[in-house]
Amino acid sequence: MPSTAKRLFEARPEAIGEARSFATEALTDWGLPDLAGDVRLCVSELATNALLHGTAPGHCFLVRLDADGEVVRLEVHGSRRRRPEVRQAAGTEASGRGLVLVNALADDWGVQERSPFGKIVWSRFKAPGRATA
């Protein structure tokens, strides 16, 4: 049976840790603790991007998780349409590796427009022992 969990977070630095905890709790409740590490790291990266680049002042960002037994889909909704770009950070840079990590950890990821405004950055993870079609 499909499961969904979603939560709005205020655009403030503390929300990143709260979003990680939210994801861990949902996956544990759904019996998918083996995915928690990878999903938690991707939540952290995508929520940080939403906070820094994807959320207009005074707006929140939404974290949504869906599980259907075969795949877990993570979505982070922001209020700005500017699409994130994967870049290779120099060894001395303190940031710029988020989407590289998401690309390495997730089975797939992408960006889609959100109506009436904003975008959704999503990633998919195969449930342990399952294959996707």
Sketch the domain layout of the chain as residue ranges. Answer: 3-126
pLDDT of residue 96: 53
Output 4 or 101, whichever has higher pLDDT. 4
Distance CA 42, CA 37 (A): 9
Which carries the bigger pLDDT value, residue 21 or residue 55? 21
Predicted confidence (pLDDT) per residue in 105-120, tens digit:
999 999 999 988 899 9
pTM: 0.86
Is residue 36 within 8 A of residue 73, CB to CB? The reply is no
Following DSSP, what letter does each residue of 29-65 receive, concatenated? HTT-GGGHHHHHHHHHHHHHHIIIII--TT-EEEEEE
Q: For domain 3-126, give the CATH number.
A: 3.30.565.10
Model pLDDT, residue 97: 57
Question: Is it the case that residue 28 has pLDDT exceeding 90?
Answer: yes
